[in-house]
Amino acid sequence: MLPGDIPFEAGRTRAREAFAEFPEALNWVNRRGRLRLADLRGRVVLVFFWNATGANSMNLLAELRQLEKKHPGAFVLVGVHTPRYASQRPDPAVLRAVQRCRVRAPVANDCDWQAWKAYSIPAWPTTVLLDADGGLAARLVGDGRSDEIEEVMLRLQEGLPPAHTRPEMEVLEGARLPAAGALAFPAHALATERRLFISDSGHHRVLECSHDGRVLRQFGSGTPGNWDGQAAACGFQSPQGLAFTGGTLYVADTGNHCVRRIRLETGEVDTVLGNGRAAYDDVETQGSGLRAAVNAPCALVADGDVLLVAAAGQNQIVRVDLRDASVATLVGDGRRSVRDGIGSQASLAQPSALASLPGQLLVADAGGNAVRRVRFADLAVTTLAGSTAWEPGCADGGGDKARFAWPSGLAVAGERVYVADTCNDRLCVLNPYSGDVQSLPVAQPLHEPQGLSFAADSLWVADRNDHAVLRVDPAHGTCERVAVDE
């Protein structure tokens, strides 16, 4: 049992405590009118409290999707999104998050934390299970708990009429991907001197393009799945970070909890890390081998036969040696925090981007609103710029005076490091030696910029919520949209 849990009491005969009605101030972003729990009497209800920046919230959403497939109509799923950042408070921002995260349930925007406080929710994500009389049956904190959720749900189903005899929920509006262009919520734009690779996350594929956006090849069928194959005859799920070395493209296949390898000469796609299930233990406890489990890999650095993987869901950096199939934790104790230290004595907070410099590795610690530095010589982890998980902001300055809001992109250009300050809709320039941060003026508005790269004298930006890749001239601040078209 985790802190904040309210366990299910089997065999209980007395009435459970009634779960209070949703606050009237909640805005429902993907349905008409207010949703009332009173209207759901006679049904088992699962209410999930989530935040769109959290890897653990994404894991829970995937688990709940599987439960819906396994037990269609057996329960009603309702979401409540509570913001971490100011940019997440407006309804349109929550609706974009619903679309990007493929949520097919009614979602309320708890912009002022009213529901969170009224129900004493302890952490993201949290699942609340209500019985057919609207009573609180259980509260389970965190992800990786689908077996427990399923067990409680099945117990609550006992004695209820078959699912097919119950009225269906209203058909939701706005829950599908918007009618965009060739891209949907791209997560990373990796440019080389001749090519542009794009993680087209919303379409579950990776594109190989020319610099002007002409699509040359597609990797991944476009249908979410997890299978190896040739070019488009394979399956990705919400791919994010990319790394290129020696004619090979590595892909952080985040939704599948895997790292994939694309041999560009042949188009062959295979899996080099991960078994398709989220890890909840250090890789050392799983034995050797590239099929060791990893949790929500988001970013990669490749150097020959060595891969460094930012495992956002387990708050660690993992080192993979492709020569001897060894996998080890490089840094991070698994606790979600911003704590400096040596190797496994340090703590990270959802690392979401990596960049290498001579003798060191830079980490965009998205959940910690900071950029961290790992010194290879002794694995010392220090905070180069930014704050802590609960001190976001938007400010230039040196070291701990700088403020970020979910930084999730890094790109190195000589002695400059570019940072995608995602939830501030801005780009920054970081001095990797002094820790000084300065905003980079760009000629057009940004919409949650994420994965970055630098090549051909340009900064390439995956502008996630605008479904676009941008080519920025950092010297002049000019910006053009890459016309990605099939």
Provide the angle, in degrees to the nearest 10, between the axes of the packed helices 55-70 and 146-157: 40
Residue 19 domain-assigned (yes or no)? no
Segments of 264-325 assigned E as strands: 268-273, 297-303, 306-311, 316-321
**Tens-of-pLDDT digits for all 486 residues of the chain?**
788 999 998 766 567 988 999 999 999 999 988 999 999 999 999 999 999 999 999 999 999 999 999 999 999 999 999 999 999 999 999 999 999 999 999 999 999 999 999 999 999 999 999 999 999 999 999 999 999 999 999 999 998 887 655 556 564 555 565 555 799 999 999 999 999 999 999 999 999 999 999 999 999 999 999 999 999 999 999 999 999 999 999 999 999 999 999 999 999 999 999 999 999 988 888 876 788 999 999 999 999 999 999 999 999 999 999 999 899 999 999 999 999 999 999 999 999 999 999 999 999 999 999 999 999 999 999 999 999 999 999 999 999 999 999 999 999 999 999 999 999 999 999 999 999 999 999 999 999 999 999 999 999 999 999 999 999 999 998 999 999 986
Q: How would you classify the pairing of strands 407-413 and 229-230?
A: unpaired
The reply to whether 140 and 67 lie within a common domain is yes
pTM of the model: 0.96
Backbone angles phi, psi at 427, to 5 degrees: -110, 150
Q: 151 and 196 in one domain?
A: no
Does residue 230 sit in the same domain as residue 149? no
| Angle of CA points 81, 121, 53, to nearest 5° | 35
The DSSP letter of residue 173 is S
For residue 11, being part of any structural domain is answered with no
CATH number for the domain spanning 143: value is: 3.40.30.10
Domain limits for position 79: 27-165
Q: How far apart, in Å, are the Cα atoms of 134 and each of 15, 36, 302? A: 10, 11, 52
Shared domain check, 222 and 97: no
Based on the fold, state whether residues 96 and 224 are members of the same structural domain: no
- What is the Cβ-side half-sphere exposure of residue 100, based on CA atoms within 13 angstroms? 24
Q: What is the CATH number of the domain that holds 341?
A: 2.120.10.30
Q: What is the three-class DSSP state of 473? A: strand
How many separate domains does the chain show?
2
- Clarify whether residues 286 and 429 are in a common domain: yes
Tokens representing 455 are 């090549």
The phi, psi pair for 447, rounded to 5°, reads: -135, 80
* Per-residue DSSP letter, 41: T
Is residue 214, in this structure, part of any structural domain at all? yes
Domain assignment of residue 454, yes or no = yes
